C-alpha cells in the first residue's frame, strides 16, 4: 500500500516538521515506503514541507520512494501567474514541474512522475519528449498518469511507457471495474493505484444513506467472521481484484495505518466480495 500525503499539511493535519518526521519513520518501520505527492497539495506547499524532513534526515532518501504529480494549475497566491484553473501538459511545464518537485522534496530523483489529470489539449508527442528528457537526465525513473480513461491511457502509452494509472476506486466509486480501465491494466501488466479507497471517508459517517448502511452492515458481518474492521474489509475488497490494485492510504494516524497492514492478511472469498458488491449496487448481479 501507498501513503498519501495530501492531508499531512495545510489541507489536513498540518503536521509540524518534527511530527511529520515521526510519521514518515513510523510508516517506514511498518514497511510502507512509497509516498504519494502532487505539486498542488497544500496549495503548492506540501512537497516543501516533506522536503524539510528529507533535508534534516538525508538517510530517508535511500529508504523511501517518491511519486508526485504535475500539470494541474491551481489559482492560489502561491502561483500568482495562474489566472484560471487549468491543465498544462506541455513539455516545458512538465520538465519545470519535475525539476521544481525535486528541489522542493530535497531528493535527487523522482521515482514516479504522473500526469495528474488528462489535459484536453495534451500532445502525446510532446509529453513523450518531456518524459524521455527527464529519464535520460536521471531526474525521473518512471512515468504514469492519474484519472485517465482507458482510451487516454492507450493513446499516451503508445508513445511512451507508463507504469500506472492512479484512479478513484472504492465500493462507492466503482467505475474502474466496469469502464475498461482495470481490464486495460491487466492486459498491459500495469499496476493501478487507488485514491480515496474509503470514498472520501463518507462511509465512516454516523449519519449515512441506506446504501452506506447496507455496505456497513454487510462489511460488519464479513468482518466478524474474519476478525476485521470496516476499513480493513474495504481495503481487502480492493486487494482481491486480480489487477493488483494498490490502495493509497490518506490517514495521518499511524494506528489506522498499522491496522491497514493487517488487511494484507485478509483473503475475501468470491462470495464475500460479491456480497459487498451487491450491497453497494443495491441489487444482486444479473
Find out whether 180 and 206 touch, Cβ atoms under 8 Å: no
Residue spans of alpha helices (H) in 34-111: 41-44, 46-56, 91-105
Which cell numbers hold the place of 92? 516545458
In terms of C-beta density within 10 A (0-12 exposed, 13-18 middle, 19 or more buried), how is residue 65 classed? Answer: middle
Active site (catalytic) residues:
41
| β-bridge partners, 234 | none
How do 65-70 and 34-36 pair as beta strands? Answer: parallel
Could you tell me if 246 and 193 are in contact, meaning their C-beta atoms sit under 8 angstroms apart?
yes
| Sequence-ordered list of residues with C-beta below 8 angstroms from that of 213, at least 6 positions apart, any chain | none
Are 119 and 86 contacting, i.e. CB atoms less than 8 angstroms apart? no
In the DSSP assignment, the letter for residue 140 is: E
The H-or-E segment that residue 238 falls in is helix 230-239
* Sequence-separated (6 or more) residues with CB below 8 Å from residue 199: 170, 171, 172, 173
Amino acid at each position: 500500500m501507498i501513503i498519501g500525503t495530501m492531508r499531512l499539511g495545510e489541507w489536513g493535519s498540518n503536521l509540524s516538521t518534527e511530527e511529520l518526521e515521526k510519521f514518515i519513520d513510523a510508516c517506514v518501520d511498518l514497511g510502507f515506503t512509497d509516498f504519494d505527492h502532487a505539486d498542488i497539495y497544500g496549495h503548492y506547499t506540501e512537497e516543501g514541507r516533506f522536503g524539510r524532513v528529507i533535508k534534516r534526515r538525508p538517510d530517508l532518501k535511500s529508504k523511501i520512494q517518491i511519486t508526485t504529480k504535475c500539470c494541474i494549475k491551481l489559482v492560489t497566491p502561491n502561483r500568482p501567474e495562474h489566472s484560471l484553473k487549468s491543465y498544462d501538459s506541455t513539455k516545458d511545464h512538465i520538465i519545470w514541474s519535475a525539476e521544481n518537485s525535486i528541489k522542493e522534496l530535497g531528493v535527487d530523483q523522482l521515482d514516479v512522475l504522473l500526469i495528474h489529470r488528462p489535459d484536453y489539449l495534451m500532445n502525446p508527442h510532446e509529453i513523450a519528449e518531456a518524459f524521455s528528457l527527464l529519464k535520460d537526465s536521471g531526474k525521473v525513473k518512471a512515468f504514469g498518469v492519474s484519472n485517465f480513461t482507458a482510451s487516454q491511457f492507450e493513446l499516451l502509452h503508445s508513445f511512451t511507457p507508463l507504469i500506472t494509472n492512479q484512479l478513484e476506486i472504492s465500493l462507492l466509486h466503482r467505475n474502474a471495474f466496469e469502464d475498461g480501465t482495470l481490464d486495460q491494466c491487466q492486459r498491459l501488466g500495469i499496476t493501478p493505484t487507488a485514491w480515496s479507497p474509503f470514498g472520501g471517508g463518507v462511509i465512516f459517517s454516523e449519519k449515512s444513506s441506506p446504501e452506506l448502511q447496507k455496505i456497513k452492515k454487510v462489511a460488519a458481518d464479513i468482518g466478524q467472521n474474519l476478525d476485521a474492521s470496516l476499513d480493513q474489509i474495504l481495503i481487502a475488497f480492493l486487494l482481491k481484484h486480480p489487477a493488483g490494485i494498490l490502495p493509497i492510504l490518506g490517514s495521518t494516524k499511524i494506528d489506522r495505518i498499522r491496522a491497514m497492514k493487517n488487511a494484507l492478511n485478509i483473503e475475501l472469498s468470491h462470495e464475500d466480495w460479491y456480497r459487498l458488491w451487491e450491497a453497494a449496487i443495491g441489487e444482486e448481479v444479473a
